[in-house]
């Protein structure tokens, strides 16, 4: 065989290997692995409400991290003055059970700003290692959060877009600084027509060292067209984002195939035993609102769990909705924070369930 022929053969072998790997990674995650994930993360012990809203207001969307010797929670508060809209709040805890509110981390923008009515955020660059340190990573020596923003007052008044803010100290509620403009909009040239041209909701940004999708930063976010599903975007600098894929990363539809009004949303992604695991909530493609998960080898192809919900309504304080997950493991205990909406005379608060009884 000539040198040229040998080189061609070698290149063909490499090409074959490259083509074979993605095909292997597209395989569904086996049922036994999905069951193992469920057994690892299930939290059957409902501790109860851990963050109450101020009188006449609502709290939502918990995201929890470790910084220094304490735990911190970034969460959303639905304000009612000067009119209805979101701000972002910070609380701290010594034990993951008892929380003290520290103040507003991200306020609504000034007059004329694109986020004048809404600034509802969640932490970015959380260490995705399951049972890891549960800390935040930095980029350019700053800590980051992403938030949904909008200039129109009212509950989820469209359009809502995605912005970023950063700080040198995530334990200081007054230190977050916003980028001046949104980083993702419903009017972007690559926004998927009919899928995310109404509004963009909660986003989760993390670092993927392996660049599985071609960039170091990955964003999963829920967006609404005719229905609300979870989509993907990638970035090399956090500021410039490119949509990944032609459709939803995770989509759920009712058995009759209709899609209006159904929701898959509020994704959180962790790395567990060689798999990516996405916790998210579902609503109205089956009764109620509840938390579930999906798993993936490559961040692009997801196998959805179809077994028992991770959280579903069962108590007076979450009788209407039990949804919007944030999960972490610490000292052998899984903590599952979620938004609870109770029945009559109850309210929207942040609740906790655990894998073991805690006091």
Pairwise CA distance, residues 329 & 350, whole Å: 18
If we measure between CA atoms, which residue out of 154, 178, 160 comes closest to residue 85?
154
78 to 29, 42, 111, 154, 254: CA distances (angstroms): 38, 29, 19, 10, 30
Residue 350 structure tokens: 């942040």
Pairwise CA distance, residues 243 & 270, whole Å: 21
Residue 16 predicted with pLDDT over 50: no
Residue 214's CB is within 10 A of a number of other CB atoms, namely 11
pLDDT tens string 102-132: 999 999 999 999 999 999 999 999 999 999 9
Pairwise CA distance, residues 222 & 148, whole Å: 11
Residue 257 predicted with pLDDT over 80: no
pLDDT tens string 63-84: 999 999 999 999 999 999 889 9
Angle, CA of 181, 53 and 117, to the nearest 5°: 25
Share of the chain above pLDDT 70, in %: 92
Tell me the average pLDDT across 185-189: 97
Average pLDDT taken over every residue of the chain: 92
Residue 5 predicted with pLDDT over 60: no
Alpha helices in the chain (DSSP H): 3-25, 31-41
- pTM to 2 decimals? 0.92
Residue 21 predicted with pLDDT over 50: no
Residue 92 structure tokens: 């701290």
CB 202 within 8 A of CB 193: no
Structure confidence at residue 23 as a pLDDT band (50, 70, 90) = low
Pairwise CA distance, residues 151 & 108, whole Å: 9
Domain boundary assignment for the chain: 42-354
CB 208 within 8 A of CB 220: no
Surface-to-core class of residue 74, CB atoms within 10 Å of its CB (0-12 exposed, 13-18 middle, 19+ buried) = buried
pLDDT for res 12? 35
Tell me the average pLDDT across 163-175: 97
Residue 7 predicted with pLDDT over 70: no
**Is 42-354 CATH 2.115.10.20?**
yes
Residues contacting 30, CB < 8 A, separation 6+ = none
Residue 168 predicted with pLDDT over 90: yes
pLDDT tens string 142-161: 999 999 999 999 989 999 99
Q: Return the HEC string of 62-85.
A: EEEEEECCEEEEEEEEEECCCCCE
pLDDT for res 88? 98
Residue 292 predicted with pLDDT over 50: yes
205 three-class SS: strand
Tell me the average pLDDT across 266-273: 98
Pairwise CA distance, residues 79 & 158, whole Å: 17
Higher pLDDT, 346 or 340: 340
pLDDT for res 261? 85
274 to 29, 129, 270, 295: CA distances (angstroms): 11, 10, 10, 10
Structure confidence at residue 29 as a pLDDT band (50, 70, 90) = very high
Pairwise CA distance, residues 225 & 247, whole Å: 12
pLDDT for res 8? 38
Residue 56's CB is within 10 A of a number of other CB atoms, namely 10
Residue 14 predicted with pLDDT over 50: no
219 three-class SS: strand
pLDDT for res 237? 98
């Amino acid at each position: 065989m000539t040198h040229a022929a040998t080189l061609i053969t070698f290149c063909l072998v490499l090409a074959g290997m490259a083509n074979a790997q993605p095909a292997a990674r597209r395989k569904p995650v086996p049922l036994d692995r999905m069951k193992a994930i469920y057994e690892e993360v299930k939290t059957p012990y409902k501790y109860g409400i851990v963050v109450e809203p101020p009188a006449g207001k609502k709290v939502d969307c918990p995201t929890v991290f470790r910084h220094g010797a304490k735990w911190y929670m970034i969460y959303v508060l639905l304000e009612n003055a000067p009119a209805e809209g979101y701000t972002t709040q910070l609380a701290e805890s010594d034990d993951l059970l008892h929380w003290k509110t520290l103040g507003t981390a991200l306020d609504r923008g000034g007059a004329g700003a694109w986020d004048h009515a809404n600034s509802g955020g969640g932490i970015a660059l959380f260490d995705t290692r399951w049972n890891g340190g549960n800390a935040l990573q930095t980029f350019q020596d700053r800590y980051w959060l992403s938030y949904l923003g909008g200039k129109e007052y009212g509950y989820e008044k469209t359009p809502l877009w995605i912005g970023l803010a950063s700080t040198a100290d995530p334990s200081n509620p007054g230190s977050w600084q916003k980028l001046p403009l949104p980083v993702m909009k419903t009017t972007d040239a690559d926004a998927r027509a009919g899928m995310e041209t109404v509004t963009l909701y909660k986003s989760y940004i993390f670092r993927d060292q392996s660049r599985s999708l071609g960039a170091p930063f990955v964003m999963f976010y829920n967006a609404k067209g005719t229905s609300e599903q979870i989509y993907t975007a990638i970035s090399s600098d956090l500021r410039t984002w490119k949509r990944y894929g032609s459709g939803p990363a995770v989509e759920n539809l009712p058995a009759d195939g209709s899609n209006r009004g159904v929701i898959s949303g509020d994704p959180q992604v962790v790395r567990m035993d060689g798999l990516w695991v996405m916790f998210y909530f579902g609503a109205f493609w089956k009764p109620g609102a509840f938390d579930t998960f999906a798993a993936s080898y490559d961040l692009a192809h997801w196998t959805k769990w179809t077994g028992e919900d991770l959280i579903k309504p069962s108590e007076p304080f979450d009788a209407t909705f039990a949804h919007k997950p944030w999960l972490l493991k610490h000292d052998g205990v899984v903590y599952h924070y979620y938004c609870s909406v109770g029945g009559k005379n109850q309210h929207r608060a942040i609740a906790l369930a655990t894998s073991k009884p805690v006091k």
